[in-house]
Structures are given as C-alpha cells and as structure tokens.
Structure 1
C-alpha cells in the first residue's frame, strides 16, 4: 500500500542550515523507491494557519518510507533541517 510522508515547514529558523539540507538531501534518495509529488508549490490553506511550505513524498509501503527516513544517510542530513526550521513530518498510509 502506498505510503506518504508529508513535511510541513512551520517556521524558518536558519536559512544557512536549510540550504545545507537542500544541497545534501537528494543524495539520500539513492537506493530508495521515493517519488516527490509536491515540493514547496503554490498552496492555499483551506483550514487552519498556512504553513511556510509543504513537501509530499510517496513510497511503495510503510517499510520503504521508514527505511529511508530512519536510514543512516537521511538521519545525518535531517539534522540540518532540525536546525534550519520547525517542521512537522507525518507518515500517512494510503487506502
């Protein structure tokens, strides 16, 4: 069953750390069945406050999503995201 991770940026804290994250994150995709469906495109909040940006990625299943997210390569790189901005990351299984 397809599984998605929704990254919602709530507040930028350090643009330099986010630039480092952006530069390094694509290398973490190698060897993982990841498909980027949306990345900081135009958005409109229909309910609640509008986030600064949204990224939606698709994996074939939960195990593949967690293998990437918890893998050594992404764990190292995501530290720059943690320092660069406040995010929500939500894993959602498809129907």
Structure 2
C-alpha cells in the first residue's frame, strides 16, 4: 500500500543550515525514488497552527518510506534540518485503490 511522508515546516531558525539540508536531502533521495506530490508550493492554512511550507512525498509502501527516512544519507541530512527549522514530520499509509 502506498505511503506518504508529510513534512510541515513550522519555523526557520537558520537559513544556512536549511541550505545544507536541502543539498544533502536531495542527494539522500537517490536510490529511494520518492515521488514528490507537493514541494513548498503556494498554500493556505485553513485550520491549525501557522506554517511556512510543506512537502508530500509518495513511496511504494511504508517500508520504503521508512528505509529512506532511516537511511544513513538522510540521517546526515536531517541533522541540518533539526538545526535549521522546526518541522512536523510523519508517515501515513495511503488507501487501497478500488
């Protein structure tokens, strides 16, 4: 079943760290091939906390999403994200197609 990684950027603290994150995160996608469905495009918060942007990545299944998130390359990248901004990140199963 398809799985989605949703990353919600709430507040940026350090743009230099976020630039490093961006470079390393792009390289960390190699071999995992997530499909970006949304990538910091225009948005409108309808309910809940304010945010600066969001990313939605589609993976073939939950195992593939976890493999990318737990990969050594993404582990290295996300250390810069932790220093650069506050995020909410989660993985969610999609629904089975009829």
Task: Please say if 1:71 is aligned against 2:71.
Answer: yes
Instruction: Determine the C-alpha separation between the residues in 2 that align with 1:3 and 1:81.
Output: 22
Give the structure 2 partner of residue 47 of structure 1: 47
1:15-94 equivalences in 2 (<5 Å): 15-94=15-94
**What does the per-residue CA deviation read over 1:40-81, in whole Å, with 9 as the maximum and x for residues that have no partner?**
100011111331110000000000000000011100111000
Q: Which moved more, 1:67-76 or 1:19-28?
A: 19-28
> Where does structure 1 differ by over 4 angstroms across 4 or more consecutive aligned residues?
none
Task: Please say if 1:13 is aligned against 2:9.
Answer: no
Do the aligned partners of 2:21 and 2:78 also contact (CA within 8 Å) in 1?
yes
Normalised by the size of structure 2, how large is the TM-score? 0.93
| RMSD between aligned residues | 0.8
Structure 2, unmatched stretches of 5+, are: none
**What does the per-residue CA deviation read over 1:24-47, in whole Å, with 9 as the maximum and x for residues that have no partner?**
211111111311111110001111
Normalised by the size of structure 1, how large is the TM-score? 0.96
Instruction: Determine the C-alpha separation between the residues in 2 that align with 1:33 and 1:39.
Output: 15
Q: Would you say how many aligned residue pairs link Structure 1 and Structure 2?
A: 95
Structure 1, unmatched stretches of 5+, are: none
